[in-house]
Amino acid sequence: MAGNIFGVLFRVTTWGESHGEAVGAVVDGCPPNLELAEEEIQQELNRRKPGRGQGASPREESDRVEILSGVFQGKTTGTPISLLIRNRDRKSSDYDALASLFRPGHGDFTYLKKYGIRDHRGGGRASGRETAARVAAGAIARKVIHREGIEVLGYTVELGGVTIEEGSRGDIRGNDLFCPDAKAAVKMKNRLEAARREGDSLGGIVEIRVSGCPAGLGEPVFDKMDADLAKAVMSIGSVKGVEIGAGFRAARMRGSQNNDPLVPGGFKTNHAGGILAGITTGEEIVIRAACKPISSIEKEQDTIDLQGNPRKIAVRGRHDVCVIPRVIPVCEAMVCIVLADHLLRQRTIS
């Protein structure tokens, strides 16, 4: 199946389905002599695990990562790094009732149209489970960019219609929604609980900030930094919109408002979100990802069966109510992968 490889010099392939034996990633192009321990990847995976926070599903995926290759005596060797995460908490019977129905909002209909065959157990490749492999690969990318002083941090700015107060800078680790506005986090949790009671789901927005990124990364014209970031983040299931900097707000501004005046030492403002003409400016990179509400809901909805007959569906398995906060480490991972790739690409010309 094509479309499972991302990146040019720092290349990530993910493989596996949610109810298969395992999911995993192969990272090719990682520089040698980078210290790498399973435990460091594990820490990132633990942030994505189900069962964390109010919006999470009660699935118990243990998400234990094993490094199969590419690391010798605790250091990367420059050869492909293969990462394996076994699927331990498979309860495929949860999906028996869905074998002949299409879940509205999920990939069931489109996967069958494309391949003429579909693994109905948990959504197969379209499952959020695939993102465990991205997070594992992203942990390695993070190490590559961290050496250069680049930090990537994601947090919740909106959930279920509750928005944080602009400029909130509270401790994102102070609540399990990774929200910098503690008051807003309480409201968000209440909305999550209400949606869960109603058998429904919610969406939200994640913001990702990159600090310490040098100016000059990004490859005009088709591999612009903003284009690659948008693709990376949009490729995550449930993400329906990506903004960089002022994003859609820029369309409502005048040039005199949107331009970031240059001053000795940098830029006065950062509406560009750290990228101009697809190349990083050296300012903070600011990305926002809009996530739709989880499609698998207990509330009854209209659908059709494989023969096209009208049917009703209520999805009762173990599902998240909202993709936030679990999607945050996934967004961070994809951003780390893009930055690691562009960092290596920049080295070929400088």
Ligand X SMILES: Cc1cc2nc3c(=O)[nH]c(=O)nc-3n(C[C@H](O)[C@H](O)[C@H](O)COP(=O)(O)O)c2cc1C
Exactly one of 7, 107, 124, 203 binds ligand X (CB under 6 A); which one?
107
Q: Which of 320, 332, 334, 338 binds ligand X (CB under 6 A)?
A: 320
Residue 238 within binding range of ligand X, rule CB under 6 A = yes
Q: Residues 180, 169: contact at Cβ < 8 Å?
A: yes
Residue with nearest beta carbon to ligand X: 128
Counting contacts by CB under 6 A, is residue 274 touching ligand X?
no
Distance between the two ends of the chain, CA-based, in angstroms?
A: 36
Residue 236 or 339: the one with the smaller Cβ distance to ligand X is 236
Among 14, 76, 131, 156, which residue interacts with ligand X (rule: CB under 6 A)? 131
Judging by DSSP bridges, how do beta strands 151-159 and 204-211 pair with one another? Answer: antiparallel
3-state secondary structure 209-222: EEECCCCCCCECCC
Closest to ligand X by CB, 184 or 321: 321
Question: Does 295 help bind ligand X (rule: CB under 6 A)?
Answer: yes
- Judged by CB under 6 A, the stretch of 14-22, 153-161, 207-215, 326-334 that binds ligand X is 326-334
Q: Is the peptide bond before 31 cis (omega within 30 degrees of 0)?
A: no
Among 36, 101, 294, 339, binds ligand X (CB under 6 A): 294
Rg of the chain (C-alpha set): 21
Residue (of 278, 273, 281) closest to 221 by Cα position: 278
Q: By CB under 6 A, tell whether 54 contacts ligand X.
A: no
Cα 199 from Cα 164, distance rounded (Å): 25
Please provide the DSSP assignment of 291-313 as one string.
EPPPS--SS-EEEEBTT--EEEE
Decide: is 323 part of the binding site for ligand X (CB under 6 A).
yes
Answer yes or no whether residue 76 interacts with ligand X by CB under 6 A: no
The length of the chain in residues reads 350
Nearer to ligand X by C-beta: 224 or 326? 326
106 counts as binding ligand X under rule CB under 6 A: yes
Q: Looking only at residues 296 through 315 of this chain, which bind ligand X when binding is defined by CB under 6 A?
A: 296
Residue 343 one-letter amino acid: L
Q: Does 187 bind ligand X (CB under 6 A)?
A: no
Residue with tokens 């107060």: 165
Q: CA-based diameter of the chain, in Å?
A: 67
Q: Which stretch binds ligand X (CB under 6 A): 94-102, 125-133, 203-211, 223-231?
A: 125-133
* Cβ-count burial 75-95 (b if 16+ within 10 Å, e if not): ebbeeebbbbbbbeebeeebb
Binding site for ligand X (CB under 6 A): 57, 106-107, 126-128, 131, 236-238, 292, 294-296, 319-320, 323, 326-327, 330
